[in-house]
Structure 1
Amino acid sequence: MKTVQVSPFFFAFESDFVDTLKCVPMIVRYKLDSCGVKLKLHEWAKFSVEQKQKLAYLACYKESEIKDYGRFVKQLVFDQFRYNASLLAEVNDSWNFLNQVPQEVQQKAFEWNCSPLTLKQWISLNTLQRFALVKLSRSGHEGKNFSVALAEFKISGK
């Protein structure tokens, strides 16, 4: 997986939970994918706000930072639950590919009656925005924030 330096950032569509960090923000999801650790929502819920903030702001770009980040998350999980954190078997990093808009993103746009994204629009997005659209497109997400994210990213939604 190609890792791109991404500054800690919270999207406006995450504003309903950023103050409390009751849900895992996209910046943390991006970093978890980068280091290959799977964090379950019940695990996230047990962390303190300070620990959650640290996970959002810790550097996770250079190889050494990615390893340190992974160790930190694993240690948090072990300290809290006394078991090892789950690892991601594989990361489908379609947000890194700029030669086509991922099919899952186009499908979600169709499902939400949004205009399909053009390649030019896809390329104009930064890495974290593309990551967010891919994550919001995948099963397990109700997708309600998909069209909100498109509007936030200045891409025509509904």
Structure 2
Amino acid sequence: MLPEGTHQASHCFAFERDFVGSWRCIPLCLRRKLDLAGTKLRLNHWLALTEPERQQLVLWDDSPAALEAMATFLRERTSGMADGGVRPMAIPTAAPWQHAGSPPAELCDSAASLGHPQLPGQWTSLSELERFALCKLARPGHDHHNLEAALVEMLP
């Protein structure tokens, strides 16, 4: 679970530490903000940004007004890139990570297979960012290589 007082808008997990600082991958805290802003930022876009710009995006607030400003910034900043600009996407309103109800079955199955059958009982105590991270790491087609590390970090 996130330490008390941790602001989920810019929290990077310990299992992400191999790329934090160099920002060679998009951290999950920013991926959450991008989803909430309805913005699809590809890795090519991310890597074309300067390191200070990447740092700025990681530290960007996640209030609705700030997310709208971030989406505008990214549209303007990427509009002239060789691969084209960022693309709009639907803003999720009922994704499993947005509600503390119960975790998706595929996540429970993956967690149990990795030795974490307690996930369903602990789901409600996780932050939205933690639920987002677990859902993203367990989604079909993802390599799942950080899922076990995430479960160890988030579940007591």
Q: What's the TM-score once normalised by structure 1's chain length?
A: 0.84
Once residues 64 and 148 of structure 1 are traced to their aligned partners in structure 2, the CA distance between those partners, rounded to angstroms, is: 33
- The residue identity in structure 1 corresponding to 2:41 is L
| Partner amino acid, structure 2, of 1:46 | A
Equivalent residue number for residue 147 of structure 2: 146
Which residue does 1:75 correspond to in 2? 76
Q: Would the aligned equivalents of 1:60 and 1:69 in 2 still touch at CA under 8 Å? A: no
In the alignment, the residues of structure 1 paired with residue 83 and residue 96 of structure 2 have an alpha-carbon distance, to the nearest angstrom, of: 34
Conserved 8 A contact 1:99-1:119: no
Give the % identical residues. Answer: 30
> Over residues 78-98 of structure 1, what are the superposed CA-to-partner deviations in whole Å (9 max), with x where a residue is unaligned?
143473321224636211222
Amino acid paired to 1:147? E
Question: Where in structure 2 are the equivalents of 1:101-112 lying within 5 Å?
Answer: 101-110=103-112, 112=113
CA contact (8 A) 2:10 2:29 kept: yes
For residue 26 of structure 2, what is the amino acid of its counterpart? V
More helix by share: 1
- Change in 2 beyond 3 A, CA 1:45/1:140: farther
Deviations along 1:34-61, one digit per CA (max 9) or x if unpaired, are 1000111121111111111111011121
For 1:113 and 1:7, locate their aligned partners in 2 and report how far apart those are by CA, in whole Å: 28
Aligned residue pairs total: 149
Match of 2:20 in 1: 18
Say what the alpha-carbon RMSD is for the aligned residues. 2.0
2:139 alignment partner AA: R
Give the direction of change, closer, same or farther, for the CA distance of 1:9–1:34 in structure 2 (3 Å limit).
same
Runs of 4 or more above 6 Å deviation = none
Gaps of 5+ in 2: 1-6
2:3 aligns with none
Structure 1 residue 104, shift from structure 2 partner: 2.7
Change (3 A) 1:38 1:117: farther
Choose between structure 1 and 2 for higher RCO, CA contacts under 8 A separated by at least 6 residues: 2
SS of residue paired to 1:43: helix
Q: Does 1:115 align with 2:77?
A: no
Cα distance in 1 for partners of 2:141, 2:19 equals 18
Instruction: List alignment gaps of at least 5 residues for structure 1.
Output: none
Is the CA contact (8 Å cut-off) linking 2:19 and 2:25 kept in structure 1?
yes
User: Bigger CA drift: 41-50 or 22-31?
Assistant: 41-50
